[in-house]
Structure formats: C-alpha cells, structure tokens
Structure 1
Amino acid sequence: MAKNPERRTALLNAAIEVLAAEGARGLTFRAVDSRAGVPTGTSSNYFTDRDQLLSQVGDQVFVRFVPDQETFDAALRPEPDRRLVVELMHDLVRRMTEERTTYLALLELRLEATRRPELRDRLTQVLRADLAHNIGFHLAAGLPGDADTVRLLYFALTGLLMDHFTVPGLLADLDLDALVETVVTRIVPES
C-alpha cells in the first residue's frame, strides 16, 4: 500500500470530482486515475478496493467542508444572538456553494450508502461526529437555542441545499439568502 499522503489526498479529491460528475457508478479506479492525471493503476496502490475508496472519500468530503480557523474565531467575537446565527448560516451556504462539487459527491455517497452497509456505517459515524461538533460549537459559543435548534437547522439547511444544487429551478423565483434568514428566524429563538 502506497504511503504518499499528498498523492492520496489528490486521489481522494479526484474521486470527489468523479462522484459529482458521473455518480457512484462512474467511480472506478481508472476514472480516478484519469481525473487525477496519474498513471493507470495508481489508485489501486492506495486503496484496496472500491469500498475503501468510498469510505475515505466520505472522510475527505468533511475535510473540504471545514471552515478555516478565522471563521471559527470570528464567530465567537460578536454578541451570540440570532443575527449571528443568520450570518453563520449564510457563511455555511456560501462555503457549500463554493464546494458544490463536494456537496454533490456527498449526496452520491449518501445514495450509495443505501446499498453498501459498510459505507452506511462509516458515513453515519462521520455525519454524527460532524453534527455533534456543530452542536458543541453552538452551545460553547452561547448562541441562542439548544441541541434541538442545531438539529433543526441542520435538517432544514440540508434539504434547502439539496434542492438548490439538484433542482435549482424549484427555488429559481426565491432569494436563497432570504430563505436562509427565514429558516433561522423561524427555528432559532430570540436571545
């Protein structure tokens, strides 16, 4: 098994691109090698099988989604009120829009997880950890609401982003920023 971490990361990022463009059925070692611009057979030196590749792609998706430390630090500076939550959710939607390919790859992984129990288990672990981290951040920052508030924001924004990326015509006559603000003001209690 090859040990070059930079190459592994490049292969995982290429796999994200393949998933977003071609779906799970198009995710082959050959397609990943081609997208990464490496010799045929390189991916098979880094991943024992397709299941391992899918599982590690699930981890890489969340590496790409993590905001920089400056975003975390900035979130703790202002008064922790509903307005700050609106700003944080706008930032989240902006980051997801910038990482549209990664978000689409995550949707493909979710669908593939319905057919692959090992992937489902790994994706469940990763998603639970991410949600727990978000709940912990929200509570530690003193933002209004509780763990259920964060869960409701998660479910609402996940659905909103899924429609925004997969069937944008559904929301074409609506302002995405206004929708985000409506979601937050309906879910997050006033301070």
Structure 2
Amino acid sequence: MAQNPERRAALLDAAIEVLAREGARGLTFRAVDVQAGVPTGTASNYFGKRDDLLNQIAPRIYARLGPDPDAVSRTLEAPPSKAIVVRFMHELMARVGADRTGYIALLELRLEATRRPEMRAALSAMLRPEYEEAIRFHLDSGLPGDRTTVSVLYFAMLGLIVEHLTTPDAIAADSLDALVDGIVDRVVPEA
C-alpha cells in the first residue's frame, strides 16, 4: 500500500467530493481517481479495498471540519457564559457553510451505516468518542449546563445541520442565526 501522506489526503478529499455528489454507490476507485486527477489505479494502490477507503473517509472529514484550536482558546479567554456557547454554535454553522461537501459526505456515511453493519460499527466507534469529547469539553470549560444540556444541544444542532444541508428551503423563512440563537437560548441555562 502506497504511503505518500499528501497523496493519501488528496485521494481522501477526492473521495469526500465523490461521496457527497454521488452517494456511497457512486464511490468507486475510478471515480476517486478522476476527481483527484490522478492516473487510473492510484486510489486502489492506496486503499486495498473499497471498505478501506470508506473507513478512512470519516476521520479525514473530522480533520477537515474541526474547529481552529487557536480560535477556541481565544474564545475561552472570556468568562464561561451562554454567550460563549452561542458563539461556538455560530462558529459550527460557519464551518458547515465553509465545507458543505464534508458534512454531506458525513451524512452519506451515516446513511451507508444503516445498510452495512460493519460501517455502522466503525462509524459508531469514531462518533461516540467525538460525542463524549464534546460533552467533556463543554463541562471542563465551565460552560453553563450539565451533561444532558450538552446532549440536547448536540442533537438539536445536528438536526438543524441536517435540515440546513438537505432541505434548506424548508427552513428558509427562518433566519439560520435566529434558529441557532433560539436553540442555545432554550437549551442552555444562564451561567
């Protein structure tokens, strides 16, 4: 298996593009090669099986979609408050807008997990620690609320993201910013 990390990342980014555009059924080595602009057979040299490629997409998506650690540190310089939570949720929605393809590809992986038990197990093994880390971060940062608060916020924002990406016209009458503010206002207690 080839080991050029830059080429591997470029192939994974191409796979994310194909997955978001074509769905899991359209994700082939050939489609990835074409999207990446590399010779036919390159993707299969890096990922022995299609399942290997699928299993490596989610970690790449999370690497692309994560917040900037420096921005998080700067935000946390202020005293913990509901306003900080609002800011973090708006930053999350900004990242969704900046990498729409990455989030759609992650949704495609979630859908594929409903049909493939091995994908469900792999994706669950990755998402569960991400979920627990979100809770730990919130609580350790002294932000208002408890574990249940963070869980409700997490799943409310996930629902908003899914609607925003898949059927934006259904929520077009409402301001996305107002919806984010409303979720935080109703879920997170005052500090």
Please state which band the TM-score falls in when normalised by the shorter chain. Answer: over 0.9
Q: Number of aligned pairs? A: 191
Alignment map for 1:1-191 (pairs within 5 Å): 1-191=1-191
- What is the percentage of aligned positions where both structures have the same residue? 57
Q: Which amino acid aligns with 2:124?
A: T
Q: Which runs of structure 1 show a deviation greater than 4 angstroms over 4 or more consecutive aligned residues?
A: none
Once structures 1 and 2 are overlaid, which stretch shifts more, 103-112 or 63-72? Answer: 63-72
- Name the CA distance, whole Å, in 1 between partners of 2:148 and 2:99: 26
1:96 deviates by 1.2
1:111 deviates by 0.4
1:67 deviates by 1.1
Q: If the length of structure 2 is used for normalisation, what is the TM-score? A: 0.98
Superimposed CA distance per residue, residues 106-129 of structure 1 (whole angstroms, 9 cap, x where no aligned partner): 000000011111211111111111
- Name the CA distance, whole Å, in 1 between partners of 2:145 and 2:178: 21
Once structures 1 and 2 are overlaid, which stretch shifts more, 170-179 or 74-83? Answer: 74-83
Q: Which runs of 5+ in 2 are unaligned?
A: none
Secondary structure in 1 aligned to 2:48? coil
1:87 deviates by 0.8
Superimposed CA distance per residue, residues 47-106 of structure 1 (whole angstroms, 9 cap, x where no aligned partner): 111111111001111111111121220231111111110111001111111110000000
Q: Which runs of 5+ in 1 are unaligned?
A: none
